[in-house]
């Protein structure tokens, strides 16, 4: 068996195109939505590079159930309301389609 190549949270953040703080927040709030991690000592977290690559491949090859449900029930999006300043008031104008 090959030796695992353990990487830091900064490496994972760069690999996913996220900030380190976002990776840490996601890991603490929804650990099942993040790749598996190892806790070494009290404050050190590492990611197995092969496990991360497998996790990414699985997520790219199989759309999540949430996106299937969202795609089937999606409604056309309306444009966001236009906000303009009129004097000291901020008015919101909606566009008719």
* pLDDT tens string 7-63: 999 999 999 999 999 999 999 998 888 999 999 988 899 999 999 999 999 988 866
Q: Residues 8, 9, 15, 19: is their CA dihedral positive or negative?
A: negative
Q: Please give the CATH architecture assigned to the domain spanning 1-97.
A: Orthogonal Bundle (1.10)
**Strand order from edge to edge, sheet including 44-48:** 6-7, 44-48, 38-40
- For the whole model, what pTM was predicted? 0.59
Domain boundaries, the chain: 1-97
């Amino acid at each position: 068996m090959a030796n695992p190549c353990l990487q830091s949270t900064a490496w994972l953040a760069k690999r996913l195109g996220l900030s380190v703080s976002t990776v840490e927040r996601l890991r603490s709030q929804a650990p099942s939505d993040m790749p598996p991690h190892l806790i070494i000592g009290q404050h050190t977290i590492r990611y197995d590079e092969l496990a991360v690559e497998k996790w990414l491949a699985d997520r790219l090859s199989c759309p999540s159930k949430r996106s299937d449900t969202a795609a089937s029930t999606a409604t056309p999006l309306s444009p966001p309301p236009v906000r303009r300043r009129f004097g000291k008031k901020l008015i919101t104008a909606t566009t008719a389609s």
